[in-house]
Chain A
């Protein structure tokens, strides 16, 4: 099959392809450095205390800060998590623990994967049709629920995978000692996989923190500090998009700072996920 002797052409070809593969790896890392590095360096220059504390002034020359947008994103993520995480956890438990007794588990797993691939802008349109039109206005609930829609499949699948990694001996021991199935799951299996489940939750939070498209037609956006989800709701991503696509340089500076904040948050979450995955535990 292969030349049992290496002529110089084959060797040279192999060395060349090796070099190309190494180069490609460097390219990927280089692109990361280019993109993230550029965003960080410009963002750092634009970041100031007023970014976090001030509200928009309405004047493009000195636009103020993005405090309303930061609070808005935090509230939206909190509301979305309130619905998305429990639902995702329950589905994950279903897929991991109840799959043998109910024929529905296979289709549900398939559907959870399918849902993970829905483009986020389509989720936004669904949110508009279901939650904006009937309620009569753009509101924060629609935005939060659109984000929850995105969170559920991520939390469900990672929870399922982490629960599957818990050895069956745990379950068998618990049942042998007389615990009911619910007690087994809730008091034995889930706590054993808590660290890994938390990483799944953090993945979901990191994902929806950066989403823009689902919020465009649901929460819309606002210049006001809003705590009432019945109204159009500000968010960091939409505000950055609005400022970035406009012509005013001062607003663009704020957009850069906003992106830096967003990327830092996601970086920290990713680091935390990596750290927790490395701790000694079942899921190593």
Chain B
């Protein structure tokens, strides 16, 4: 830091060249001494208050709007699998199980709309976890490489820039790529060959067939390999969370004290053995990085909506279309016709919010905790 970097400081004792603003002197005459100090302090504390209001307001507005749905459905909202926004007319069944006939016509009962969010909670959870399963090994491996090898090759800076750029690509760009590149690729090449290979393996039958219940009968259907399914959604999510986990993981690994690494090398460890020690040392920080990725995956909307198939069902196979909480909101919110429908959707938004906030808070605690522990270890 050289002398030329010091900015100039204006001295308050010097007479200002401009005339004093009239409103200030008027206020001062009336005994109000509002200096720039007070003003700034006020503004700054006011904005801090605004930030608090932003979070509290968000939770409040959503909770208030979701209240009708919470009151109506209670816990069955989270455990129910039936998401039916329309009323359903079903024949009324008498106590003996037979259809009641009144005046020569089948008596119909009108079932009110039912909202059970388990399919979308399942969709978000499974797609995020699958995305983690794909992304975490790759991210950690790349993070290790970036921290241990790349600096020697002097390409660390360039690679980091590219990784950050990957993180900055907007969700809709990934959605477009997924829709026009990944979906046809999966549909045409990957899934059919996977089906050919895995069908012969016993015990994997459930991957390719699903059972649906119509009335009293159960029918087994082959799941069509369309490419627009849970697998595609998870892959897109994995690609999207790779840069985050890599970047944060790299930072966490870079914070490992050199003493630790040198110690392992002195004891004769191979490259991989010392790397494993690094991973073990910073495991809570790395877990935090993984949680950050999980939070991003859970909240991701546009890319997932375009490739996941939008089917509000729980079908265990990855080749079946699915729906996540955010894609449900993107699809249905704009035209939720009945107030209870809208309230149910906002309850889903609330669950999504709470879920991603929980991940974020945990992640922050773990990452910051690691840095503090690392600093203390020096």
Query: Which residues of A come within 8 Å of B, CB atoms?
Result: 1-6, 10-11, 13-18, 20-25, 27-29, 31-32, 34-36, 38-39, 87, 90-91, 93-95, 97-98, 102, 104-105, 107-108, 110-123, 125-126, 128-130, 149, 152-153, 156, 167, 170, 173-174, 177-183, 185-188, 191-192, 206-207, 209-213, 216-217, 220, 237, 240-241, 244-245, 252, 255-256, 259, 262-263, 266-267, 269-270, 274, 281-282
Contact = CB atoms under 8 A, between A and B. Distances in A.
B179 interface: yes
B252 interface: no
A119 B330 contact: no
A180 B170 contact: no
Given A38-B177, A262-B173, A6 B270 contact: yes
A120 B301 contact: yes
A113 B329 contact: no
The 9 closest A-B pairs by CB, nearest first: A210-B170, A119-B299, A117-B360, A14-B270, A24-B141, A90-B47, A14-B272, A182-B40, A17-B272
A93 B61 CA distance: 28
Contact of A18 (B7, B43, B57, B272): B272
B323 interface: no
B259 interface: no
Contact of B10 (A87, A119, A179): A179
Contacts of A4: 267-268
A10 B275 CA distance: 13
Given A22-B145, A91-B44, 13 more contacts: A25-B145, A27-B138, A31-B242, A108-B52, A116-B360, A119-B298, A153-B51, A177-B11, A210-B172, A213-B301, A213-B302, A259-B173, A266-B170
Contacts of A28: 138-139, 142, 163, 166, 242-243, 246
Contacts of A206: 168
7 contacts: A24-B137, A28-B139, A98-B41, A173-B9, A210-B169, A210-B172, A282-B5
Interface of B: 1, 5-7, 9-13, 35-37, 39-41, 43-48, 50-52, 54-55, 57-58, 61-62, 65, 137-139, 141-142, 144-146, 149-150, 159, 161-166, 168-177, 179-181, 239, 242-243, 246, 264, 267-273, 275, 295, 298-302, 306, 326, 329-330, 333-334, 346, 349, 352-353, 356-357, 359-361, 364
A129 B61 contact: yes
Given A17-B271, A182-B39, A210 B171 contact: yes
- Tell me whether chain A's interface is mostly helix, strand or loop, or mixed: helix
Contacts of B298: 119
Contact of A94 (B44, B57, B172, B270): B44
Contact of B352 (A17, A25, A119): A119
A217 B45 contact: no
A117 B273 CA distance: 35
Contacts of B173: 35, 39, 210, 259, 262-263
B335 to A, nearest CB: 10
A180 to B, nearest CB: 5
